[in-house]
Amino acid sequence: MNRVLLLLVLLGCLQEARAHRLDECLQATRVRPGTNHVELSIEITPGVEVVREFLAVIDRDGDGAISAKEESAYAMRLLGELSATVDEQTVKAELLAVSAAPVARLREGTGVVRIRARAEFAPRPDGRHRLALINRHLPSISVHLVNAVKPTDPAVSIRKQTRDEQQTRYQLEFDVRSLRE
């Protein structure tokens, strides 16, 4: 009996893993702090019920294809709707890369738009620092996830993350320590 129950639970989990959002645009942001920058990796996955509204934003000429110019313009719009500060000093995210799935995949609810950006700032002295991030992009159709990823710089360590209920406001406390001996 227990094996049957376990099998049913596992099958349910597999079915759920194949499912995708319908009525929301998922914005998943990963944040990686450094001593003089923060890297942002943002993945936007529109659900099939909101994809028309999403495509009106990214496919500006309405031709059913997303050109490199439209990808770039969309990424710049998204980055312009983010506010970021480090220790209460405004930082501006610069676009590193953007790629959009074909419109057909977006319409199916399986396509993703990926944006990578980097915000530079003056190197942080040793001690605790705070990054604050506010996302105002497509609020009427979006849900958000935001999380820090392990820093690649050994001088930086994550201390604490806090988010509001919608995860549109995010704070990351991180430490910088000298590697000099």
Residue 133 has pLDDT above 60, yes or no: yes
C-alpha pair distances (Å), 28 with each of 67, 86, 121, 148, 180 = 23, 21, 23, 11, 36
Report if residue 8 sits inside a domain: no
Report if residue 7 sits inside a domain: no
Number of domains in the chain: 1
Report if residue 111 sits inside a domain: yes
**CA 97/CA 114 separation, integer angstroms:** 8
What is the per-residue pLDDT for 123? 87
pTM of the complete model: 0.86
Report if residue 10 sits inside a domain: no
Give the pLDDT confidence of 38-66 residue by residue, as tens digits. Answer: 999 999 999 999 999 999 999 999 999 99
Report if residue 3 sits inside a domain: no
Report if residue 168 sits inside a domain: yes
- Domain, as residue range, for 135: 19-176
pLDDT (average), residues 13-27: 67
What is the per-residue pLDDT for 165? 96
